[in-house]
Amino acid sequence: MSIVTRPSAGATLLGGSIVLPANACPHTLPPRRVSPWIGGPGTAGTVAVVGAGKMGLPLAAQFAGHGWNVVAVDVQDAVVEAINEGRSHIGEEPGVAELVASAHASGRLRATTDGAAAARDADVLVLIVPVMLDADHQPDYRYMDAAVTSIAPGVHPGSLVIFETTLPVGDTRGRYAPLLEAASGLRADADFLVAFSPERLFSGAVLRNLASYPKLVGGLGPASTERAAQFYDAVLDAEIVAMTSAESAEFSKLADTTYRDVNIALANEFAAYADRVGVDIREVIAAANSQPYSHIHQPGLGVGGHCIPVYPHFLLSRAPELSIVARSREVNDGQIQIAIDAVRSTVGTLDGVPVLVLGLTYREGVKELAYSRAIPLIREFRAAGARALAHDPLLSDDEVRAIGAEPYAWGSAAAVRAIVTQTGDPRWRELDAAWFPELAILVDGRNSLSGLSLPQVVTYRGVGVPGRG
């Protein structure tokens, strides 16, 4: 594609969701293998991808598919074994299994648990290891610190180290470059290069995202930025945006995800007001978003996943004065109270009341429980004395029990008094009220079941959607 200093174009904000077109691959000729790789056009070297999980393995496969030799580094023996057999361990990501098999068969993809050895062999190291939150909502660096420590002895003159894991602003320069310098005895941005380039991927569409979203890159200095931009220009089909610093690139990812959290919190507060005045928030949002500068998101029972509930806290850890950000986290985390209050107002005391929660993953179609709002929802129902049942088509009975709920077999009769949908899985539209002869209320946590046929004795409650019954 091309390397620019500002994204060349954006998408319209005219309502609804935005899907950018995937770019055609501009790399028409196989790259020429070189060692060491120093950024020359049309050349390829060796890259180590540290963290071969749901985002790391697709990256490794993408890089191998563009002619690079790839070493995937992971601490889990089972992951390493699967990759070395040409198998993907992340079955739900379209296209990845085929790309992994092809890359392995061509000899361009292997895996190891030895980070230092991989670093010694690599021209480029890309780290994509989780940084989550601790119990105090502060960044939990244990996995990234361990990953950096593992590769640091293998960093050598000419190495390019890129962090793709979302980090608080300043960590690339202030936390990890000094760690690498201390272990290697080399100088960052001189003897070896360091950059930050945020992962901007959506589970279920990773390979498409890699070919469509502009790739943001910011280094410790101009040399680091230039080399990192050259690397991504060689392995991606999207536009590469060379930013002025690692800090700008770090902040861009936090701004992106925090914007969505704030937007959803605003939609949730709008929904609460819509309930009060008796209008349908979906109609209001659709009308507002017909003006191209409005892009209000949808309300619901809160926000889950590795990104949106986490990264605002990365900002707050360095800038606690960001009051709108803090308030948005409070609003979104508090949304499960809507379901609890609605059930209690309909059935009275929750003591001994059977309640069914539908959808336990953080969103439908993705087997991931990170920060799923179903977990505190079930915990709160149980704390109030309710008997919690649950179902998710992606989870086994044992996985449901591990969350603290009794498994419900889809389609079976059950004496539940309340149902709460925590995801918008299309399967819920098959729900038959006849399965639940004692049902008193359905709380539609994602506003996806307003058209469902229910007996008149059953109350329907959405989020900002007029109720029935």
Q: How many CB atoms lie within 10 A of CB 146?
A: 12
Surface-to-core class of residue 8, CB atoms within 10 Å of its CB (0-12 exposed, 13-18 middle, 19+ buried) = exposed
The one-letter amino acid code at 68 reads W
Instruction: Report the candidate in 234, 241, 242, 240 with the shortest Cα–Cα distance to residue 26.
Output: 234
Task: Kindly write down the DSSP assignment for every residue of 385-450, as one continuous string.
Answer: T-EEEEE-TTS-HHHHHHHT-EE--TT-----SEEEE-S--GGGGG--GGG-TT--EEEETTS--T
Q: What residues contact residue 408 under an 8 Å CB cut-off, 6+ apart? A: 356, 389, 390, 391, 414
Q: Is 307 a catalytic residue?
A: yes
Q: What residues contact residue 295 under an 8 Å CB cut-off, 6+ apart? A: 13, 15, 263, 289
Measured in degrees and rounded to the nearest 5, phi and psi for residue 10 equal -125, 175
DSSP state of 175: I
Q: How far apart are CA 22 and CA 206, in angstroms?
A: 11
Q: What angle do CA 140, 306, 407 make, to 5 degrees?
A: 110
The one-letter amino acid code at 329 reads R
> What are 44's strand-pairing partners?
33
Instruction: Report the candidate in 231, 116, 114, 110 with the shortest Cα–Cα distance to residue 164.
Output: 231
Residue 435, both tokens: 């399965």
Residue 177, both tokens: 């470059």
CA-CA distances (angstroms) from residue 322 to 13, 262, 274, 314?
25, 11, 27, 11
Active-site pick, 25, 54, 253, 367: 253
Q: How many CB atoms lie within 10 A of CB 125?
A: 28
Q: How far apart are CA 146 and CA 142, in angstroms?
A: 6
Q: How many CB atoms lie within 10 A of CB 237?
A: 18
Q: What are the catalytic residues?
A: 253, 307
